[in-house]
Structure 1
Amino acid sequence: MAHSDAEALQALLGPSARFCRRGLTGQDGVALAPLIDHHLHLHLVDEHALPAHGIAGAVDLGGDPAYFARRPKHGMPQVEYAGAFLTVPGGYPSFRSWAPAQIVHIVTSSSAAPGVPGGARTSVDEMADAGASVIKVALHNTEGPVFDTHTLQVLVAAAHDRGLPVVAHVEGDGMTRRALDAGVDVLAHAPFTERIDEDLVAAAVAAGQRWISTLAIHDDPQLALDNTAAFAAADGRVLYGTDLGNGDRPAGLVPAELRCLHRAGIRGPALIGALTDPWPRAAFDRGVATFVTGPAPDAEAGIPAWLGGATVVPAEELITREP
């Protein structure tokens, strides 16, 4: 590779990058922190294929809370989850064929009191008691009703009382602003149905909001790319996420998503940062690492294709070596 030392490697790929030899196979390559897909749906994905294709951690943003409560907590990929989508009667995604009843929870009351059936507080408590790390709400007004402002505020407050961030599926005019005003912490998709103006971008950044990319799911991603580029340029935190299960794509790292992030100006160490941010954890289990056989790319433009060769390996297999 053109980069001849560890300092140059980290300038290209960020501080977790190091030259390594894989002890089990004798292959030379580069190690990185574990890669995480911050938005997918495990009931629609072959989760066992994820580690072989680079993904060590997965955040399920819409699944059966009872299944996840029973699921073993160890093994690969390491999974965090929201449990079911919280939505209103007739709201998204209750009318989608890919959304069985188990992954949709209908909130029928704005009640902030615990134990009220269908109440906002109770709905959050049910997901939290099932082990959820995040709470997912639907704000999709192009095909159905959405939460009123008060109910959304109660949901966010209840989640924060449980120490959990709130992720919103935002789709339709005005929904990004509604999410921000209610204190939503993360957007499940970079906004793709409305152009986000400079003031709203600045407000989202100031609030510490994160956006999960999911750029490659769109037939025409340009609007989402433009919004993401503006958010990233203003120092907004973008997380790599693919919405795997949406469309026919193999499980694992999605090079098309990486190329979209690169187009949005999220490149080099910033791209690796979007992939390795441990959110919603404070830190990821460092018992595993990402390993890519062979030399690193010569420039940032080569990183998306190069990462296509990533796999997850036990960290103890990797021996740091000199370049």
Structure 2
Amino acid sequence: MTGATLDLGPSARAARRSLGGEHAGETGIALPPFIDHHVHLMLVPRSSLRDSALAGVVDLGAPLPLVGAELRRDGMPRLDVAGNFLTARGGYPMGRAWAAPGCARELDPEPADGRAWLPGAAETAVREQHSFGASVIKVALNRVAGPVLDRPTLDAVVGTAHDLGLPVVAHVEGDDMTRLAVDAGVDVLAHTPFTEIVDDGLIARAVAAGQRWISTLFVAGYGEATPDAVRAADNLGRFHRAGGRVLYGTDLGNGEQPAGLNPAELALLLGAGLAASDVIDALADPWPRAEQPQGVATFIAGEPPADADRLPDWLASARVVPAEDLEYLAAPPPLDDPSRTDRLETL
């Protein structure tokens, strides 16, 4: 490598493709596998992402038969699913033109007539999603579009999910919906809040609780500085500066977006104040699992950019490669070390 480059963080390593494999001897940068933490396979097929920079995707709302069939198929990208949106009777996304039949499940309120010993609709729905293969539970808290789950019902969803070891992710939209999610112990927000300015005190509470926010900044304005887009960038910047964990996510399937990494989303993350290494951390976070996709790595040919303006397109040129095809270039000893040689370590 020559010249000044961005600090990509400790996970970035100089590497070359194996001399015995495809693109023999090509040099570049190896990074951990990338994940889009918010996609909808009912709107964009998983097959369209197989040759992209994505090693994993998290589907956050689809009919159970669709994602169930995908879970039974091997191949890339790795898939985690939420299954159905869990929503109030008549709530979001019911009635939306893009919402495929069967993608949402309406919950009746928890009983308040002394029948608490019986499983309610919330517990039943969460346990059925889990048995179907869901590794995360999604709730819709969209007051703009209609009714939302009442607090006892939301508490039942979160409590049952946590008992099963599942995180809960919420679509929040409308006044006080972020506060409701924080108060109820929701683990992740499916979108950076975009319809309200989240005050610093609430952000501090979210960070202290370990809540993560999935970015989806692009779909807040589709490239325009709309009020929603400005609010989202401001909220995400303050959340990040307060120590909050940001996850890269695009809401893929929502509007015109590239199949794979979206350079516009990456540029907006940088604009919100994330450094290059922070963006890579947001891409490489294995959530909702503890481990990253196995046996693969991200490889980008050539030298990394020297300035942040070029980072989004450079990252979007990445490809998923078998980890065994990469040879890591060892860091050289100090210049005055007489034993210095250029060595390779093979993964």
**Amino acid across the alignment from 2:175:** D
Question: Given that residues 51 and 311 in structure 1 are in contact (C-alpha distance below 8 angstroms), is that contact kept between their aligned partners in structure 2?
Answer: no
**Amino acid across the alignment from 1:268:** A
1:182 aligns with: 184
Shift of 1:100: 1.7
1:246-285 superposed Cα distances (whole Å, 9 cap, x missing partner): 0022210000000000001112111100000000000113
Comparing 186-195 and 61-70, the one that deviates more: 61-70
**Amino acid across the alignment from 1:85:** F
In the alignment, the residues of structure 2 paired with residue 138 and residue 184 of structure 1 have an alpha-carbon distance, to the nearest angstrom, of: 11
1:255 aligns with: 263
Shift of 1:73: 5.0
In the alignment, the residues of structure 2 paired with residue 249 and residue 285 of structure 1 have an alpha-carbon distance, to the nearest angstrom, of: 24
Identity %: 52
More helix per residue: 1 or 2? 1
In the alignment, the residues of structure 1 paired with residue 250 and residue 283 of structure 2 have an alpha-carbon distance, to the nearest angstrom, of: 11
1:88 aligns with: 88
1:275-318 superposed Cα distances (whole Å, 9 cap, x missing partner): 00000000113301111111111134432121121111111111
In the alignment, the residues of structure 2 paired with residue 28 and residue 49 of structure 1 have an alpha-carbon distance, to the nearest angstrom, of: 27
Comparing 59-68 and 143-152, the one that deviates more: 59-68
**Amino acid across the alignment from 1:18:** R
1:271 aligns with: 279
Where structure 1 has 5 or more consecutive residues not aligned to the other structure, the ranges are: none
2:342 aligns with: none
Shift of 1:15: 1.9
In the alignment, the residues of structure 2 paired with residue 114 and residue 25 of structure 1 have an alpha-carbon distance, to the nearest angstrom, of: 61
In the alignment, the residues of structure 2 paired with residue 296 and residue 309 of structure 1 have an alpha-carbon distance, to the nearest angstrom, of: 11
| Secondary structure at 2:54 match in 1 | coil
Cα 1:113–1:300 shift into 2, 3 Å: farther
Comparing 19-28 and 307-316, the one that deviates more: 19-28
Tell me if 1:192 matches 2:194: yes
2:339 aligns with: none
Tell me if 1:201 matches 2:203: yes
Comparing 286-295 and 41-50, the one that deviates more: 41-50
**Amino acid across the alignment from 2:257:** R
1:106 aligns with: 106
Shift of 1:66: 2.7
Shift of 1:3: 5.0
**Amino acid across the alignment from 2:207:** V
| Secondary structure at 1:303 match in 2 | helix
The structure 2 residue matched to 1:159, chosen from 138, 151, 161, is 161
The structure 2 residue matched to 1:139, chosen from 138, 141, 163, is 141
Tell me if 1:302 matches 2:310: yes
TM-score, structure 1 as length reference:
0.93
Question: Given that residues 238 and 274 in structure 1 are in contact (C-alpha distance below 8 angstroms), is that contact kept between their aligned partners in structure 2?
Answer: yes
Where structure 2 has 5 or more consecutive residues not aligned to the other structure, the ranges are: 332-347
Runs (4+) of structure 1 exceeding 6 A deviation are none
Shift of 1:36: 0.3
Question: Given that residues 286 and 293 in structure 2 are in contact (C-alpha distance below 8 angstroms), is that contact kept between their aligned partners in structure 1?
Answer: no
Tell me if 1:231 matches 2:247: no
In the alignment, the residues of structure 2 paired with residue 255 and residue 222 of structure 1 have an alpha-carbon distance, to the nearest angstrom, of: 18
**Amino acid across the alignment from 2:23:** T
Larger Rg: 2
Question: Given that residues 12 and 299 in structure 1 are in contact (C-alpha distance below 8 angstroms), is that contact kept between their aligned partners in structure 2?
Answer: no
